[in-house]
Amino acid sequence: MRAAILGAGAWGTALALSLGARHHIALWVWDAGQLEAMRRRRVNASFLPGFPIPERIELTGDLEAALSDAELALVVVPTSALRATFRSIAGSGRRPPVIWASKGFEAESARLPHQVAEEELPADVPRAVLSGPSFAVEVARGLPTAITLASNDHRFAVETARLLHSPRLRIYSSDDLVGAEVGGAVKNVIAIAAGVADGLGFGHNARAALITRGLAEITRLGLQLGGRMETFMGLAGAGDLILTCTGDLSRNRRVGLLLAASRPLHAILDEIGQVAEGVHTARAVRSLAHKHGIEMPITDAVCRLLFEEYSATAAVEELLSREPKAENAP
């Protein structure tokens, strides 16, 4: 199969390395300077250093050329760039199936990626999301990883998952596109809170409680938006949440750790140097929760910490001072 991977961050490059062993990959790099450096050194020093890019993986800055004979387009850009990328695909005149691996809500509209795709891609283009617990560097190393490919078109999900599946990158199919997207988006917000708790030295008990209550928030919102319970208990829900809240490679958890150390947000984002989607997603999640009358106290606390100059201690104390209730209460 010939596939175009649009986006050469850490995750896009890791997927190119993994899938490139069995498929012809054209990796589109939007930044001319990065493209030149990658062509010269055959490594993505900016986002995934230490992993040589084989010559069989084509590096290009021309999106239309990348799509010219592609049988599949895999979009791996920040959520903020999804709409423009979908629009460019539609404008190219090509009609390959489109899969995105972006996790978040569009900040301006609070839309999920599939809703943006509905507005920008031709209606007859098959589409899906690729989501689940996956650090790019581990995929690049060939370490075992299991993720979910979800589409409203069940047959497309099954066939494409089978095509991309390998012993080290195991891909499971699902027809719950909404659930997979909500799980992948909201877990980043919860991971910021987990990083704060870890940074304040609250221990493993507190982290476990936060992850569990965070999953309850994800599930409440996800069910309201049309997702299914089994998705939130699976790879794209609990699996992704656990990894992002506990793994040292998690950018969103790192944001929380640095917030707990009283670092200003702008300095944290500059230091991390890559997109931490939870920061951009938090407002959209809170807005949707308020719109639907859903209690999401962890998300509210993260938003106050990020955007209202709350201290980490004050945000945590607010959570701890909430009235006790039945565990399964909404």
What residues are labeled active site? 187
Per-residue H/E/C for 221-283: HHHHHCCCHHHHCCHHHHHHHHHHHHCCCCHHHHHHHHHHCCCCHHHHHHHHCCCCHHHHHHH
Angle between helices 251-260 and 177-199 (to 10 degrees): 30
Sheet strand arrangement including 2-6: 58-60, 24-28, 2-6, 72-75, 98-100, 127-131, 145-150, 169-174
Secondary-structure breakdown of the chain: helix, strand, coil percentages, each rounded to the nearest 5:
55, 15, 35
Only one residue has tokens 């609250």, namely: 202
Q: What would the two tokens of residue 242 be?
A: 């656990």
> What is the residue type of 142?
G
> Residue 26 and residue 65: Cα distance in Å, rounded?
9
Closest CA to 305 of 256, 252, 242: 256
Closest CA to 42 of 55, 24, 56, 61: 55
> Residue 300 and residue 283: Cα distance in Å, rounded?
9
Only one residue has tokens 């199969």, namely: 1
> Residue 58 and residue 55: Cα distance in Å, rounded?
7
> Residue 194 and residue 258: Cα distance in Å, rounded?
12
CA distances from 327 to 61, 212, 243, 312 (A): 51, 10, 23, 25
Only one residue has tokens 């790879």, namely: 235
